[in-house]
């Protein structure tokens, strides 16, 4: 993909009139733009592009040049090479993006050696930020949703037993461990855990859901890498008849993303997820965000949790450029600028914990409903303020290692 330079007319005027030392800041963006998960890259890049379009003048007299590269498959097989090329060939000062945890894990040694900061806009395996002092995350860890969902399922949904189904790669294992920890700590019992294929292709979900139906748990917690996998999950939930069997479908936001929700049909109604974002969240920045999204991409297109995190990732990047007056040559100063950064955006109040370099955000328990206009949406059942990555708080496994 070709690099894009964003320069507002106001920025140009200011640069000419004041003679300020304007910098052109090169930023690399890595997302999946091809294959079965290209829709995840699309949800991300639309959020980033929208921010760049609406806020280019905010960094005047400086400009930003974004160089977009395909992250490659969810195995992370291409990520190290792509990151190396961005750093050595394109001379980027910072990399933003990465949907898949294996990509971030593969890139970490390169990021550390080159000292080029990586700001993660999606990849959620909790311990990724421990792999390099030059990695920060603005999206979420799997524990942000999974752990409180476990507590909520036991205490509020009154589920005494649960089964878990997950896509078999690092974030799937991380998400189910988070749920199990919260659920069993609150008195629940996990009675089955089912690996449901890999992220590179969408499997036939029917056998997994039939197995759960036969086990008769109160709740079925599912983690999949959103997108097409999510559509397959809700379809199987409806066709196998788990709702009729009284088994609640629960999970992180990946199960019912706003980008897929309208196509899921009535089978999605009643699904309960824990999330830091929904297009229906009632706050002023989100209403402005959704309005701008519809104007840019059409009334039938909706932002999801990835889009909102991508928007915030660009907001954090712009904040760094402004704070360092366009000079991102010193990676220590870039990381210092990211630590403690905060905003009040579509997801509400969001910040980066200076101790862990991981995000701190509010979480909402959300239920899928049919709205008066006939469209599917979500309503808030409850909220938790200022949620940190509980994996690092509890120092579970690799979350207790590194800096």
The C-alpha atoms of residue 80 and residue 326 are separated, in whole angstroms, by 27
- pLDDT tens by residue, 183-209: 999 999 999 999 999 999 999 999 999
Banded pLDDT at 400 (limits 50, 70, 90): confident
Any idea what DSSP says for residue 214?
A: H
Indicate whether 2 pLDDT > 60: no
Banded pLDDT at 36 (limits 50, 70, 90): confident
Q: Are 394 and 279 in contact (CB under 8 A)?
A: no
Q: Are 369 and 377 in contact (CB under 8 A)?
A: yes
Beta bridge partners of 252: 274
CA-wise closest residue to 271 among 296, 237, 320: 237
The C-alpha atoms of residue 202 and residue 310 are separated, in whole angstroms, by 24
Indicate whether 343 pLDDT > 60: yes
The CATH code of the domain at 24-140+283-357 is 3.40.50.2300
Indicate whether 321 pLDDT > 80: yes
Q: Are 26 and 92 in contact (CB under 8 A)?
A: yes
- pLDDT tens by residue, 293-303: 999 999 999 99
| Architecture category of domain 143-275+363-400 in CATH | 3-Layer(aba) Sandwich (3.40)
- pLDDT tens by residue, 61-101: 999 999 999 999 999 999 999 999 999 999 999 999 999 99
Burial of 291 (0-12, 13-18, 19+ CB in 10 A): exposed
pLDDT of residue 370: 97
pLDDT of residue 284: 97
pLDDT of residue 5: 53
Task: Give the mean pLDDT of 343-363.
Answer: 97
pLDDT of residue 16: 42
pTM > 0.95: no
- pLDDT tens by residue, 224-248: 999 899 999 999 999 999 999 999 9
pLDDT of residue 18: 47
**Cα–Cα–Cα angle for 368, 178, 286, nearest 5°?**
40
Banded pLDDT at 20 (limits 50, 70, 90): low
Task: Give the mean pLDDT of 361-366.
Answer: 97
CA-based end-to-end distance of the chain? 35
Indicate whether 182 pLDDT > 70: yes
| CA separation, residue 267 to residues 55, 233, 281 (Å) | 39, 10, 22
pLDDT of residue 21: 82
The C-alpha atoms of residue 72 and residue 77 are separated, in whole angstroms, by 7
**SS3 assignment, position 262:** coil
The C-alpha atoms of residue 32 and residue 77 are separated, in whole angstroms, by 12
| CA separation, residue 17 to residues 25, 62, 73 (Å) | 21, 14, 47
List the chain domain ranges: 24-140+283-357, 143-275+363-400
Question: What is the chain's mean pLDDT, rounded?
Answer: 94
Task: Give the mean pLDDT of 212-232.
Answer: 96
Residue showing tokens 């004041």? 18
**Which parts of 110-263 are beta strand (E)?**
118-120, 135-137, 161-166, 189-195, 219-223, 248-252
Domains 24-140+283-357 and 143-275+363-400 share a fold: yes
The C-alpha atoms of residue 344 and residue 275 are separated, in whole angstroms, by 17
Longest dimension (CA), the chain: 72
pLDDT of residue 401: 76
pLDDT of residue 40: 93
Residue showing tokens 């009334």? 299
Task: Give the mean pLDDT of 104-128.
Answer: 97
| Between 157 and 403, residue with greater pLDDT | 157
CA-wise closest residue to 176 among 222, 125, 240: 222
CA-wise closest residue to 94 among 65, 70, 61: 65
């Amino acid at each position: 993909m070709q690099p894009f330079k964003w320069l507002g007319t106001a920025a140009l005027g200011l640069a000419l009139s004041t003679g300020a030392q304007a910098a052109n800041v090169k930023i690399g963006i890595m997302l999946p733009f091809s294959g079965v998960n290209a829709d995840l890259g699309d949800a991300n890049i639309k959020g980033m592009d929208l921010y760049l379009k609406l806020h280019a003048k905010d960094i005047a007299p400086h400009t930003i040049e974004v160089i977009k590269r395909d992250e490659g498959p969810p195995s992370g097989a291409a990520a190290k090479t792509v990151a190396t090329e961005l750093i050595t060939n394109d001379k980027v000062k910072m990399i933003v993006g990465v949907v898949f945890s294996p990509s971030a894990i593969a890139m970490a040694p390169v990021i550390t050696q080159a000292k080029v900061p990586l700001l993660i806009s999606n990849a959620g395996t909790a311990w990724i930020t421990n792999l390099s002092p030059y990695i920060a995350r603005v999206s979420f860890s799997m524990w942000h949703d999974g752990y409180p969902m476990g507590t909520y399922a036991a205490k509020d949904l009154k589920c005494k037993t649960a089964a878990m189904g997950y896509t078999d790669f690092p974030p799937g294992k991380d998400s189910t461990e988070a749920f199990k920890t919260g659920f069993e700590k609150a008195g629940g019992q996990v009675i089955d855990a089912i690996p449901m294929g890999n992220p590179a292709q969408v499997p036939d979900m029917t056998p997994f859901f039939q197995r759960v139906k036969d086990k008769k748990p109160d709740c079925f917690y599912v983690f999949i890498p959103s997108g097409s996998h999510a559509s397959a999950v809700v379809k199987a939930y409806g066709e196998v008849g788990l709702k009729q069997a009284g088994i609640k479908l629960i999970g992180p936001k990946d199960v019912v993303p706003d980008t897929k929700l309208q196509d899921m049909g009535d089978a999605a109604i009643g699904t309960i997820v824990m999330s830091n974002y929904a297009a229906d969240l009632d706050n002023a920045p989100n209403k402005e965000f959704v309005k701008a999204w519809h104007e840019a991409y059409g009334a039938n297109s909706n932002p999801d949790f990835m889009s909102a995190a991508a928007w915030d990732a660009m907001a954090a990047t712009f904040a760094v450029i402004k704070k360092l007056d366009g000079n991102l040559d010193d990676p220590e100063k870039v990381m210092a600028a990211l630590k403690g950064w905060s905003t009040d955006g579509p997801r509400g109040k969001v910040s980066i914990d200076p101790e862990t370099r991981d995000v701190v955000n509010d979480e909402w328990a959300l239920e899928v409903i049919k709205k008066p206009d006939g469209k599917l949406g979500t309503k808030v059942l409850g909220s938790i303020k200022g949620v940190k990555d509980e994996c690092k708080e509890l120092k579970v496994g690799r979350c207790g290692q590194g800096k």
